[in-house]
Amino acid sequence: MAKQSCCHKKKLRRGLWSPEEDEKLMNHIAQYGHGCWSSVPKLAGLERCGKSCRLRWINYLRPDLKRGTFSQEEEDLIIHLHSLLGNKWSRIAAQLPGRTDNEVKNFWNSYIKKRLRERGIDPATHQPLAEPAVAPAPATTTVSRRAVFGDVDLIPTTTPIQAAPFEGPILDGVTKLPVDMDWPVAEDGVPSSSLSRPCYLQGACFDMDALQQHHCSSIPGPVVPSASSYSTLTSMAEAEHCNTNITGGSLPWLELGASAVADAGHVDSCYAGALDELRWSEYFDSAFQAAASQQGALQATGQCVYGGKDDVPVHFDVHGLSNWC
DNA sequence: AATCTATCCAACCGCTTTTAA
DNA sequence: GTTAAAAGCGGTTGGATAGAT
């Protein structure tokens, strides 16, 4: 017999919340904080389980929620982070101030997945969707530099791709680089055998590519992050600081820099975690610099990074990354 | 106007992880 | 070190709504 939820056991109310319930919960939390969630419903006079109260607060009542439709920048960031992290909705949402994991997840399932499929991208793998009986095309001729994931597939790897997601806020700072999301369609018939790899680190390739593109000023305009995104801005500023040696230049939108961050308002405690994660970008950056210095060294064993001119892949050893914690 | 279908999203379920005793 | 409770997370469901027929 299937286990029943706590709400069933206690014959508590379920389903949609009424305005009165919302008010009770809000008043209670405003007055006392939530403390232990399991005691909240009793103290607030609600016939709900604590879990339900917590969810309602986090996903709907919290005052710092942004609500409303997602901006293009948010959408791009979600896609990009998903390519790195997979269905780690809470971690993706953590990079989007005012958004909840549930909201991001719903947005992904209802909108982004569809959009990616329309563009010929498999939302699960971020690879071009396999197309039957497509004649192979010359390897690098028709794929634009935007065609990031398609490109990646052209690079043979010498070691198995790590199946496990790369833990930690991998590229905080770096992942938030402006990325042109005009993604490729599998028009050149990339062999499907190479399409099924997990792409956590392939996403890193993506970033470096974007970085390089910015250095070359080859795309028309930067994607400027929302001014409300304090963590994003600070991470970007950090990345800017660290990446000067890599790119040899600056990222235009980062000229917003500290003043934009200051304008964004006070350092809310809810962003403290994001700030903590900045050390990852510092580490990632140093790892990348070390790798860049080894560019051309054939003994590299990790994932590829597009960093050089003429689409020459740069490799670096990600094992160093995974060993750092 | 009535019915059907598709979409969106709030909420639930159950599992895992973390924390406290 | 063990156990139970709490919290967190991701997958899934179901109701409300809009649009199509």
For chain A, domain boundaries:
19-59, 72-119
Q: Of A100 and A195, which is predicted with more confidence?
A: A100
Per-residue pLDDT at A14: 83
A258 conformational bin, left if phi > 0, alpha if psi -120 to 50, beta if neither: alpha
Q: How does pLDDT run across A77-110, given as a tens digit for each residue?
A: 898 888 888 888 988 988 888 898 888 988 988 8
Residue A131: per-residue pLDDT: 56
Mean pLDDT of all residues in A31-46:
87
A232 vs A132, higher pLDDT: A132
**Residue A286 three-state SS:** helix
- Tell me the C-alpha distance between A234 and A167, whole Å: 21
Q: Identify the three-state secondary structure at position A202.
A: helix
CA of A121 to C1' of B16 (A): 31
Task: Inform me whether the pLDDT recorded for A41 exceeds 80.
Answer: yes
CATH architecture type of domain A72-119: Orthogonal Bundle (1.10)
Rounded distance, CA A6 to CA A52, Å? 10
Q: Which residue has the higher pLDDT, A152 or A167?
A: A167
Q: Residue A138: what pLDDT?
A: 32
Q: Separation of CA A31 and C1' C16 in angstroms? A: 33
Q: Which nucleotides of B are covered by protein (CB under 7 A)?
A: 7-15
The residues, ordered by sequence, that sit 6+ positions from A311 with a Cβ below 8 Å of its Cβ are A140, A145, A151
Give A217's pLDDT tier (boundaries 50, 70, 90). Answer: very low
Strand B atom within 7 Å of A102 CB: yes
Q: In sequence order, what are the residues at sequence separation of 6 or more whose Cβ sits closer than 8 angstroms to the Cβ of residue A5?
A: A49
Q: What is the mean pLDDT of chain A?
A: 54
DSSP 8-state symbol, A71: P
pLDDT 10s digits, A227-257:
333 333 333 333 333 333 333 333 223 233 3
Å between CA of A41 and C1' of B10 = 19
pLDDT band at residue A263, thresholds of 50, 70 and 90? very low
Residues 6 or more apart whose CB falls under 8 angstroms from that of A111 comprise none
Range of weakest confidence among A42-56, A118-132, A193-207? A193-207
Give the DSSP letter of residue A110: I
Residue type, A223: V
Q: Is the CB of A66 under 7 A from strand B?
A: no
Give the range among A68-72, A123-127, A199-203 with minimum mean pLDDT.
Answer: A199-203
The answer to whether the beta carbon of residue A41 comes closer than 7 angstroms to any atom of strand C is no
- Distance in angstroms: CA A160, C1' C2: 39
A15 touches strand C (CB under 7 A): yes
| A177 CA → C12 C1’, Å | 33
Distance CA A88, CA A166 (A): 11
Phi-psi region of A96 (alpha: psi -120 to 50; beta: other; left: phi over 0): beta
| Chain C bases closer than 7 angstroms to a protein Cβ | 5-12, 15-16
Q: Which residue is nearest to nucleotide C16 (CA to C1')?
A: A16
Q: Pick out the nucleotide with least CA–C1' distance to A60.
A: B10
**Residue, of A125 and A152, whose pLDDT is higher:** A125
Whether A91 CB is under 7 Å from strand B: no
**pLDDT exceeds cutoff 50 at A10:** yes
3-state secondary structure of A315: strand
